[in-house]
Amino acid sequence: MTSKSVVPKNISFEFFPPRTPEGAEQLRKTREELGVVKPLYFSVTFGAGGSTQQGTLDAVIEIKEAGYEAAPHLSCISSSRARLREVLQLYIDAGLKRIVALRGDMPSGMQRGGDFRYATELVEFIRAETGDHFHIEVAAYPEIHPQARSAHDDLCNFKRKVDAGANGAITQYFFNTDAFFRFIDDCERLGITLPIVPGIMPITNYSQLARFSDMCGAEIPRWLRKRLEGFGDDRKSIRAYGEEVVSRMCDDLLKAGIPGLHFYTMNQSAATLAIWKNLGLAAS
Ligand code: FAD
């Protein structure tokens, strides 16, 4: 790609909480490398079922102390009102103003429980408890959430979340821009006007990507799957081809005027920075 893409305003990078001191060190390095892009914020995922919740808090505090805006994710699926109230207070005390509000998925083998069934209820709860303190992002599914009864139901459920008080949405990753543009059109028809930022998954490891995609309902189109499978264990070629495909997709999205990009970084900077450079944005 040779042309320079339009610089998007709303750039964010998603991390997961590190589990070891080495992982924490790696994340610091990644954060500094991605910091040159001047993102609007870094977000940190939250494990439903309690496994990584302290890790989320520790990671966002460290990001904030390094001078960046940080957005903890918060999922409600297995939590009580009292526990969520406590977590919200910890985030407020840490000076955080952004949050990504989700239902979450239970880790396999764990029982579902908690006071809330859907993210809409969490958004309502955050607004009821903390007013306008938080800028709330919610999740959106251009290729339809795997548990939705129908595409129309999923869209109506998304609208409920928006009406409950979300400020913005981040999509599940996709490799099919038509699905994204159709979703945006459907949202506009329903009067949904909040910024919807595409979630971007750099392609670095095909077997991991295939596993994730099966779980979350993101489609790897046949042509892409076949090309990636064709590289076998050749990680270098998978990366190079993945960078080209995802860069081209981001370029198409940016040219269509999307409000920003949210990168699922997997706590690594190289693939995201390569895409950034391909978009002609590296020096901006
Ligand atoms: P919801 O909006 O509640 O939707 C879940 C399903 O319920 C959908 O099928 C929807 O159509 C349906 N539904 C919603 N409301 C109703 C209703 N009133 N009646 C009937 N059906 C309804 N997971 C984590 O555990 N931790 C994370 O940090 C995390 N971060 C994420 C970040 C992003 C940007 C995205 C896109 C996903 C993230 N996830 C995370 C995954 C997410 O938790 C799962 O996709 C989960 O299955 C759905 O979460 P949700 O917030 O979209 O749920």
pLDDT tens sequence across 22-67: 999 999 999 999 999 999 999 999 987 666 789 999 999 999 999 9
Ligand 1 pocket, residue 120 CB under 6 Å: yes
Which atom of ligand 1 lies closest to the CA of 103? 51
Closest CA to ligand 1's atom 8: 148
What pLDDT does 4 receive? 66
Tell me which fold the domain 10-278 belongs to: TIM Barrel (3.20.20)
Closest CA to ligand 1's atom 44: 104
What pLDDT does 247 receive? 97
What pLDDT does 78 receive? 86
Which atom of ligand 1 lies closest to the CA of 154? 11
For ligand 1, the distance from its centroid to the CA atom of residue 29, given in whole angstroms, is 30
Which atom of ligand 1 lies closest to the CA of 119? 3
Over residues 218-227, the pLDDT tens digits come to 999 999 999 9
Q: Structure tokens of 225?
A: 């799957």
For ligand 1, the distance from its centroid to the CA atom of residue 119, given in whole angstroms, is 6
d(C-alpha 237, C-alpha 247), whole Å:
15
**Is residue 136 helix, strand or coil?**
strand
Mark the ranges of the chain whose per-residue pLDDT is less than 50: 2, 284
Domain boundary assignment for the chain: 10-278
What pLDDT does 3 receive? 58
What pLDDT does 7 receive? 72
Sequence-distant (6+) residues with CB within 8 A of 120 are 157, 160, 161, 164
129 is an active site residue: no
Which pTM was predicted? 0.96
Q: How many CA atoms lie within 13 A of 125 on its CB side?
A: 26
Q: Structure tokens of 212?
A: 């994730």
Ligand 1 pocket, residue 119 CB under 6 Å: yes
d(C-alpha 91, C-alpha 102), whole Å:
16
d(C-alpha 232, C-alpha 170), whole Å:
32
Sequence-distant (6+) residues with CB within 8 A of 16 are 44, 45, 52, 266, 267
Task: Give the burial string for 227-259 (b: 16+ CB within 10 Å, else e).
Answer: bbeebeeeeeebbebbbebbbebbbebbeeebe
